[in-house]
Amino acid sequence: MSDAHTDEGGVVVYWRPGCTFCMKLRAQLRFARLRHTKVNIWRDPDAAAFVRSVADGNETVPTVTVAGRPMVNPSLRQLREAVRAYAPHLQPKRDT
């Protein structure tokens, strides 16, 4: 399994090409300036297996981990809450 899967302190977005939900979430994360690692489950069999293990056997994407905690198809609000709770060091700095 690659290092991206073991990023216990960060945000990892598991996605696949053509997924509109993935595209929307990735755009929201860029706009929110939330650092994250992207893993294409069609190119990484271990990533696909991980997604199936947390999504009731399905390859439901986007699946995201925040500090190692999986979330299946989370909203941006849910991700921000998880980052505040489990990875506050990743919160974007506010401009003053």
List % helix, strand, coil for the chain (3-state, nearest 5). Answer: 40, 20, 40
pLDDT reported for residue 95:
56
CA distance 45 to 86: 27
- Residue 10 C-alpha from the chain's centroid: 9
Q: Tokens representing 57?
A: 């056997």
Give tens-digit pLDDT for 81-94.
999 999 998 887 76
Domains within the chain, CATH numbers bracketed: 3-90 (3.40.30.10)
> Percentage of the chain with pLDDT > 90?
79
Strands 63-66 and 11-15: antiparallel
pLDDT reported for residue 7:
63
pLDDT band at 2 (very low <50, low <70, confident <90, very high): very low
- Per-chain mean pLDDT for the chain: 90
22 or 95, which is more confident?
22
Give tens-digit pLDDT for 45-65.
999 999 999 999 999 999 999
The pTM score is: 0.87
Ordered alpha helix ranges (H), the chain: 20-31, 45-54, 76-86
